[in-house]
């Protein structure tokens, strides 16, 4: 099983739609989870951290399911500017140590 | 603040040539990282540093060397470039361990080895 797996997409959605991405991770001891966003031919940037109780930042909601070892990202009221690749990121070792493992990303395209 | 900068932005090398990629950050971060990103592969860690004078291997270190002589700079060297090293290279830095702190990325260096 790969360490961090994501559906590559692309997800093509109309403006205003709600879209959800899932990501699975293999290390049950992982403690830190993030979603990064990467625009075409640009560097990745942190979108949000994912906390155990779930967290929300405006139109974005992140959830963590430890039992099933997956993370989700929900985007409500999609905007054209949300078009990007979304990277699921997990720390490799247990606890707060270790380096990050990046998923290959899920591509989102929001159409007018 | 410039954040994280990388030079050069683009480079074409011939097989066997050498080069050094420079990464600089002005955020006083302790941790710095070098990644490569290939189509369909995601970001993979090459080497990283947890402080001035220290370096460590990441997931794909073969064919690369690094140095962190100054806190703000992290150099990535290719001693004898190979076509398999054609990639986009990203440098990143963070205040502390990447498990807790956001990584800030540079704009990337697009390297082609012919």
Q: Which residues of A touch B100 (CB under 8 A)?
A: 32, 96
Q: Which residues contact A61 (CB under 8 A, 6 or more apart)?
A: A54, A55, A73, A74, A76
B112 phi, psi to nearest 5 deg: -120, 130
**Longest pairwise C-alpha distance within chain B:** 39
Give the distance from residue B32's alpha carbon to the nearest chain A alpha carbon, in angstroms: 11
Closest Cα in chain B to A94: B99
Distance (Å, whole) CA B87 – CA B90: 10
Residue A96 pLDDT exceeds 80 = no
Q: Beta B31-38 vs B87-94: how paired, if at all?
A: antiparallel
pLDDT (0 to 100) of residue A27 = 85
| Cβ of residue A103 closer than 8 Å to a chain B Cβ | yes
Q: Which residues of B touch A96 (CB under 8 A)?
A: 97, 99-100
Closest Cα in chain A to B102: A46
| A5 confidence band (pLDDT: 50, 70, 90) | very high
Determine the average pLDDT of the residues in A24-41.
Answer: 91
- Percent of chain B exceeding pLDDT 70 equals 100
CA distances, B31 to each of A74, B53, B95 (Å): 31, 11, 6
| A93 confidence band (pLDDT: 50, 70, 90) | low
Helix (H) or strand (E) holding A89: strand A84-91
| Cβ of residue A13 closer than 8 Å to a chain B Cβ | no
Q: How many CB atoms lie within 10 A of CB B86?
A: 16
Residue B55 pLDDT exceeds 60 = yes
């Amino acid at each position: 099983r790969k360490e961090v797996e994501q559906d590559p997409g692309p997800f093509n959605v109309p403006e205003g739609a709600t879209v959800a991405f899932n990501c699975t991770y293999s290390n049950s001891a992982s403690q830190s989870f993030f979603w990064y966003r990467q625009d075409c031919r640009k560097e990745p940037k942190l979108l949000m951290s994912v906390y155990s109780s779930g967290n929300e930042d405006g139109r974005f909601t992140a959830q963590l399911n430890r039992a099933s070892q997956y993370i989700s990202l929900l985007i409500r009221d999609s905007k054209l500017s949300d078009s990007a690749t979304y990277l699921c990121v997990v720390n490799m070792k247990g606890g707060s140590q270790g380096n990050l493992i990046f998923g290959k990303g899920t591509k989102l395209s929001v159409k007018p | 603040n410039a954040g994280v900068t990388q030079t050069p932005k683009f480079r074409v090398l011939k097989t066997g040539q050498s080069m050094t990629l420079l990464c600089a950050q002005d955020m006083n971060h302790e941790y710095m990282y070098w990644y490569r990103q290939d189509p369909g592969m995601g970001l993979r860690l090459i080497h990283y540093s947890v402080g001035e004078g220290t370096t460590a291997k990441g997931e794909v270190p073969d064919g690369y060397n690094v140095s962190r002589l100054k806190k703000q700079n992290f150099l990535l060297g290719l001693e004898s470039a190979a076509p398999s090293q054609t990639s986009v290279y990203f440098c990143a830095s963070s205040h502390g361990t990447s498990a807790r702190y956001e990584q800030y990325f540079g704009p990337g260096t697009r390297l082609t080895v012919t």
